[in-house]
């Protein structure tokens, strides 16, 4: 292809997929867990087969004119796992490691997450393989709009409702809403959730996932007879979810002794000044912990943070941070999974054998999708709630859901992860039975 054919724009630079080790492939992890649960539930083979395969997968080319005038072609995905319980629901992530198997797994996790907290959605997930830290705001806007146009045939307020995920936010959702609204010639604010409040977003949505993690932690401690004021916490990942969880747990009386992000971590056994850390992060050009210093604070790596002697460990970064190599050395008594899939199956077995309680991701971090559901309901009704009502309803659903999972765990004598999956898969399977198979 010549320069003339491109109108002066050469260098079409596709992003390279970063392969994951098959041992730690999130999709195979998700399938193995589903297979285990299906056997325990004695699930009909046909329904089991349906749940092992997403209903629809879309891979799209996303060409973008970059600020230097050259064309860069990104790869985007939208996977719709199950619509048995309602419209598809799931986030959009921008990350260099996004690939089809990861998106498949995250879509399935969304199906189980929505079912375990009892909201009327199925699961979906999407993403673009890119490095947003190396892109300007204008480049991100152009990429988002083109990606949105490419997945428009399968999304919609009654079909599939995206939301923010890793490296996406309310601004990205605003671009998506505007793109769909312009192309459809009407306002369709319900097409995504996690929007700015001024565009039909819900109060409390930004904090919802982290708030759900904090509520799950509180419920776990109640059942273990431990007070928050006597609890030490370490949080790996100080993005939106981790920072909110750390802030709320600190406000609830827990002693947050360590936090980290991609720039590294900080540790103080006497407790960190979370308010000061938040001010530092807000002022940092890349919103990082990098450069933070205070008396008594020492630096730790992300790997070191996972091995600190604390009561509660909150992994809030990317998947598979806890694996067979470090699980034997984890000293935390309890783990509350704020990230999606932070623990490999091998590590899960090791933690269970060591008596470490794990609150699984599909329960612990479900606060975000719960308040996304509230936002969707508010958009459809054009009637909006105040933040107190949002938080009250979120608290009610999280507490109820935690109790339901805990009760299954006690009754069936299984870890919380298996209990959550048994509850969720059972609910989805029941919906399939009641609907029947079309045609």
Give me the active site residues, please.
125
**Helical spans, DSSP H, in 252-301:** 274-283
CA distances from 119 to 114, 206, 218, 225, 374 (A): 5, 19, 22, 30, 10
Q: In what order do the strands lie in the sheet with 357-359?
A: 298-300, 264-267, 255-261, 232-236, 312-315, 334-336, 357-359
Return the structure tokens found at 68: 């230097």
Roughly how many angstroms between the first and final C-alpha of the chain, as a whole number?
Answer: 48
Distance CA 41, CA 424 (A): 11
Distance CA 262, CA 281 (A): 13
Q: In what order do the strands lie in the sheet with 71-82?
A: 56-65, 71-82, 122-129, 88-95, 160-164
CA distances from 55 to 84, 148, 208, 218, 345 (A): 10, 20, 28, 36, 25
Phi, psi of 193 (to 5 degrees): -120, 175
Distance CA 25, CA 346 (A): 12
Strand boundaries in 214-272, DSSP class E: 232-236, 255-261, 264-267
Distance CA 421, CA 39 (A): 12
Instruction: Determine which helix (DSSP H) or strand (DSSP E) holds 77, and give its type and residue range.
Output: strand 71-82
Return the structure tokens found at 359: 């609150």
Distance CA 73, CA 259 (A): 36
**Helical spans, DSSP H, in 63-204:** 100-116, 137-151, 170-184
């Amino acid at each position: 292809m010549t320069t003339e054919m491109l109108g002066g724009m050469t260098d079409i630079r596709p992003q390279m997929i970063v392969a994951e080790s098959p041992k730690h492939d999130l999709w195979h992890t998700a399938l193995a867990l589903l297979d285990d649960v299906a056997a325990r539930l004695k699930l009909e083979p046909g329904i089991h087969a349906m749940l092992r395969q997403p209903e629809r997968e879309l891979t799209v080319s996303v060409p973008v004119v970059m600020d230097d005038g050259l064309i860069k072609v990104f790869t985007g995905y939208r996977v719709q796992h199950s619509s048995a319980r309602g419209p598809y629901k799931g986030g959009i992530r921008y990350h260099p490691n996004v690939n089809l198997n990861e998106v498949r797994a995250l879509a399935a996790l969304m199906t189980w997450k929505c079912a375990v907290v009892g909201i009327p959605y199925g699961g979906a997930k999407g993403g673009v393989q890119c490095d947003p830290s190396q892109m300007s705001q204008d480049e991100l806007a152009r990429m988002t709009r083109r990606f949105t146009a490419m997945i428009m045939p399968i999304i919609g307020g009654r079909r599939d409702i995206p939301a923010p995920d890793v490296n996406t936010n309310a601004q990205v959702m605003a671009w998506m809403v505007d793109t769909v609204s312009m192309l459809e010639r009407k306002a369709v604010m319900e097409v995504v959730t996690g929007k700015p409040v001024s565009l039909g977003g819900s109060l409390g949505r930004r904090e919802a996932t982290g708030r759900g993690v904090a509520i799950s932690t509180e419920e776990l401690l109640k059942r273990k007879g431990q007070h928050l004021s006597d609890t030490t916490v370490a949080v790996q990942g100080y993005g939106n979810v981790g920072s909110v969880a750390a802030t709320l747990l600190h406000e609830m009386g827990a002693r947050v002794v360590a936090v980290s992000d991609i720039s590294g971590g900080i540790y103080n056994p006497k407790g960190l000044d979370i308010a000061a850390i938040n001010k530092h992060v807000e002022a940092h050009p890349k919103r990082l912990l990098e450069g933070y210093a205070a008396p008594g604070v020492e630096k730790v790596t992300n790997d070191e943070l996972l091995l600190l002697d604390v009561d509660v460990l909150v992994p809030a970064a990317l998947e598979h941070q806890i694996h067979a190599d470090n699980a034997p050395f984890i000293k935390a008594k309890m783990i509350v999974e704020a990230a999606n899939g932070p623990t490999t199956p091998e590590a899960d077995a090791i933690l269970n054998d060591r008596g470490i309680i794990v609150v699984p991701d599909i329960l612990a971090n479900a606060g975000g999708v719960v308040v996304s559901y509230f936002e969707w309901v508010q958009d459809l009704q054009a009637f909006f709630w105040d933040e107190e009502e949002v938080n009250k309803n979120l608290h009610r659903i999280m507490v109820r859901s935690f109790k339901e999972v805990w009760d299954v765990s006690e009754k069936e004598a299984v870890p919380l992860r298996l209990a959550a999956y048994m509850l969720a898969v059972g609910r989805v399977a029941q919906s399939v039975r009641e609907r029947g198979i079309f045609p």
